[in-house]
Structure formats: C-alpha cells, structure tokens
Structure 1
Amino acid sequence: MTPDWSELDRELDRWAQAGLSLPLWWRDDDAIAPTPALIRLADLAARLGIAVHLAVIPAHAQDALADALPIGMIPVVHGWAHISHTPEGEKNAEFGADRTMQALGMDAQQGLRRLRALFGPRLVPMFVPPWNRVSDNLLPQLPELGFRAVSTFTPRAAPLAAPGLAQINTHLDPIAWRGGRGLANPRVLIAQVARQLADRREGRADATEPYGILTHHLVHDQAIWTFTEALLTRLLAGPGQPWTAVDTGETNEPT
C-alpha cells in the first residue's frame, strides 16, 4: 500500500510559505566491509544528491572497505567493537556508565586511531556510540581524544555536548527494531517527521541542528529502501538542504 504523505506535505508547504530551509543529513550505521547493500546505499545517495555518513565499527572494519569506499560516503567512528557491556536485562550500551572511565576512553581512542589509519583524511572525527547510548562522563574527554562531534538519537538539548564537542543527532529511524526489523508503520513515521518539523518551525526544537535520517543498510528489506528513498526525495524537493559534518569547519587532523 502506498503511504499517505499528506500530513508531511502540509507541513512542508508551511515551511515553503515561511521561507524556511532544513539542513538535512544522513547517517548509516554498522559498516565493516564492502557489500552489495553498501553499493545500493551509495547508488541511492548519489541519485538523491546527498552524502552518507557511514558509521564504521573499528574493531571489525576490513581494509577492503577503505579501498572500495564509494564517493559520497563520509566515514565516522562507530564506537569500538559494537559489544554491549551492560548487565543482562538492561538496555545495550558499549559506552555506558557501568564501565570505568579508563575503559571508555581507551576504547574510544583506539576506535579513532584504527579508522584514521584505515581512511586517513577522509575520516571525520565524529563519535557515534553503538545503540546511541553514551555516558555523560565520557563526553568531556572526547575532544581531548581528537573527536569534534558526537551523534546519538532524538533532538539535541544543546549545540554542544561538551566544550569543543558538537552534538549532531539523528531523528528518524525507519526500522521496527522490536517488531521483526522490518519497516515501522509508515503512518507513524510520517507523523513523526511532520511533528518534528512543526516543532522546529514553531520554536519548540533547535531548528539549527541538522535533521538526521538514520539507516542500517545491512538489514534493509525492500520496504525500508523504498520508504527511505521516498522520504528523502520529499524532503530534498522541499526545504531540505544536504548537510555534511565537513560543513562544521572542524579539522579531522590528529591531535
């Protein structure tokens, strides 16, 4: 069934009438190797004219990924090994508050070093904690380790997560992680985007934060690919202006 986009279309019309623009970015998680799904992701991004920030798992990243990294993909640091250290029954987290600060810092640092060695200057020093969870105590350390931005999920509370560390979050994930890992209810997703854009337009949310679409190419079925393309096409035809972490002006040189 074709989704009903009318609620979002009405909100996009309001943006057009107000002369507003939406900085739009795309983050895709869990990359480790070149795959057919990665090629499909790159092809879609190229057709749409928007870059993909590819969150690469450092401990498992293959050299072949760097050799075959498609144009238009920007590698960023996806934690270290994507292993949860939380007790059974608690939400997964690799960089949660249950670990020592020394362990958290060491894993974050070796993740950055590994991907700098792999990608060189193509790497953007953005820290993407697996499961979008990170201890608040680690955030002030990240700039000292060489990171310039952190990215989790949901609208940010402030432009900086810590001094020298930009907060650039994602806002919509089309996957129903607790419902079979297929496409979430399109009606709910469309309503969520419309509500989030209305919050920005009406001053209830930070309108300067790039609006982030979060995907996971390795688990996409056809419905997820189709919805993602349709959503990005609509946003880019309206107020959406492609944004990349390079636009922050931050250096990605080692410190």
Structure 2
Amino acid sequence: MSTDWAALDQELQTWVDQGLTLPLWWRDDDAIAPTAELDQLTALSTKLGLPVHLAVIPKGATKTLAHYLTETTQLIPVVHGWAHLSHAPKGEKKAEFGAHRPVDEIIKDASQGLSDLQKLFGPELVPMFVPPWNRIAAEVVQELPGLGFTALSTFTPRKAPLAAEGLAQINTHVDPIHWKGSRSVVPPQQLLDQVTKQLNARRLGRADNTEPYGILTHHLVHDAKIWRVTEALIARLMAGPARPWTFDTRNLI
C-alpha cells in the first residue's frame, strides 16, 4: 500500500505561504556506547542538517562514547535518567522516576546521573532531564531545578512552557516506532496523518507552536523501514517551514 503525502505536503505549503516557521528538534534515547547504529544516526543527522539531542543512560555510559561525541557536532548529550531500570510494580507501566520509591532516593539517582555525565562530557553536556519511558512523578519534577537541570523532556505536547520554576518543558511529539505492534515502523499513513494533525493544530493556535516540535527515535532498535521513514519525514519538514532547534539556556521557551 502506497503512502499519500498530499495532506502533509499541503499543510507544509500553507505554513510556507503564511510565512510561518516550525522549530524542529530531534531526540534519540538510550545511548551508552558507540555502535554501528550510532554511526548511522550521526550520518543521517549530518545529511539532514538537524542535530540530535542524544539521551545517554548515565550508569552505563562509556568513555568511548564521550570520545565519539568529541568528533562530531551533530550529537548533543543529555541525561537519560540513571540506569533505565523500572521500579514500577508488575502490571503497571514502566517507570524509573515514577512515584514507586522514596522521593529522596529518586532524587539521588537523578543527581548522580547529572554529576556522572558532567564528569564524562564536561561543558558539552546539556542539563536536560529525559526520564526513561517518558514518565516522571510530579514531586520529582519540582526537585530537578535544585539539582541543576534547566529542562525536562517527555512525550506529547506540553501543557505549559515550564514544568516547574526554572525548568523548561520541551517535549517530543512523534515516534516512528510501533512499540505496541510490530516494533517496526508505525504504519506510515498513520504517522503522516498524526504529524499533519499536529501541525494543523499549531498553525491554527490550538497547540503551542513556541514549543519545539520533537522527533523521538531510538537508534539501537531501528530496522531499515524505521530509518527510511524517519529520514523521509524529517527531510520533508526541513524542506518546508522547519528550522533546526537545539537546546540553549538563552533560547528556552
């Protein structure tokens, strides 16, 4: 079955005709070490002209990854929880930073993650917290600014520009992986329809277009179809109203 890009193309052209721009950012999760898949991610990022905010798991992060990042400007390290280990009871959705442990224990893990990656990456580390599985308890969010974090990133459109005082909320909005199905790519037409509706909502003021529009990927589990659709989608956006956005404390929304 062929994929019909017409509706998305029309939406993107309307953005261009109206002089609108789409701040576009890319987050990729679960990095620990250099791999062939990371090479592919870096090459695609370079080809598309869109840097990747690489969510690194602190507990398993290697010095070889830190060295790898010194050789490219396409990958921007951010903090991906602590160990990517779920503490949720059986039957509940996975979460490492959910309300399943004492708050002080959870905060200790978040602080350790930031500290360890600062030692590993130095000033190149961006103080953005990305909770594994995009889940985090509200009481934990309130503690993040005091640890040194300046942004929180989860999934779905944000409800407000700030998650807490001094903590920007910068989410991701589209994920090409069909996690609850084939674990290959989401049916492409379904994916394109989702993007079209999201961009339409932004253009018409029903959603916050000051929040960077986020692409979420997981390079370690991509098959050829996921890579292909991800590239095609980002290329389409970049050829239209999208402008690359990268984290900078001076441009926080």
* Shared fold per TM-score greater than 0.5: yes
CA distance in 2, matches of 1:139, 1:49: 32
Correspondences of 1:161-240 after superposition (within 5 Å): 161-240=163-242
Which residue of 1 is the match for residue 26 of structure 2?
26
- 1:80-136 CA-to-partner distances (Å, cap 9, x unmatched) read 000000000000000001221101100000000010010001100000000000001
CA distance in 1, matches of 2:74, 2:91: 39
- SS at 2:14 equivalent: helix
Tell me the matched-pair count: 250
CA distance in 2, matches of 1:236, 1:135: 34
Which residue of 1 is the match for residue 5 of structure 2?
5
Residue 199 of structure 2 aligns with an amino acid whose one-letter code is: L
Note the C-alpha offset of 1:54: 0.1
Note the C-alpha offset of 1:181: 1.1
| 1:101 aligned to which of 100, 103, 114 | 103
- 1:153-200 CA-to-partner distances (Å, cap 9, x unmatched) read 000000000000000000000000111310011111000000000000
CA distance in 2, matches of 1:122, 1:83: 25
- SS at 1:245 equivalent: coil
Which residue of 1 is the match for residue 15 of structure 2?
15
Which residue of 2 is the match for residue 153 of structure 1?
155
- SS at 2:230 equivalent: helix
- SS at 2:138 equivalent: coil
Which residue of 2 is the match for residue 139 of structure 1?
141
Across the aligned residues of Structure 1 and Structure 2, the Cα RMSD in angstroms comes to: 1.1
Note the C-alpha offset of 1:71: 2.5
CA distance in 2, matches of 1:16, 1:10: 10
Consecutive unaligned residues in structure 2, runs of 5 or more = none
Which residue of 2 is the match for residue 85 of structure 1?
87
Correspondences of 1:36-115 after superposition (within 5 Å): 36-69=36-69, 70-115=72-117
Moved more, 135-144 or 212-221: 135-144
CA distance in 1, matches of 2:159, 2:51: 25
TM-score (normalised: structure 1): 0.96
Change (3 A) 1:225 1:78: same
Residue 26 of structure 1 aligns with an amino acid whose one-letter code is: W
CA distance in 2, matches of 1:64, 1:11: 43
Conserved in 1, the CA contact under 8 Å of 2:150 and 2:249? no
TM-score (normalised: structure 2): 0.97
Residue 53 of structure 1 aligns with an amino acid whose one-letter code is: H
- 1:23-57 CA-to-partner distances (Å, cap 9, x unmatched) read 00000000000001001100100011110000000
Note the C-alpha offset of 1:2: 4.6
- 1:198-229 CA-to-partner distances (Å, cap 9, x unmatched) read 00011110010000000000000000000000
Conserved in 1, the CA contact under 8 Å of 2:51 and 2:74? yes
Note the C-alpha offset of 1:246: 2.1
Consecutive unaligned residues in structure 1, runs of 5 or more = 251-255
Corresponding position: 1:244 with 2:246? yes
CA distance in 2, matches of 1:164, 1:71: 27
Which residue of 2 is the match for residue 122 of structure 1?
124
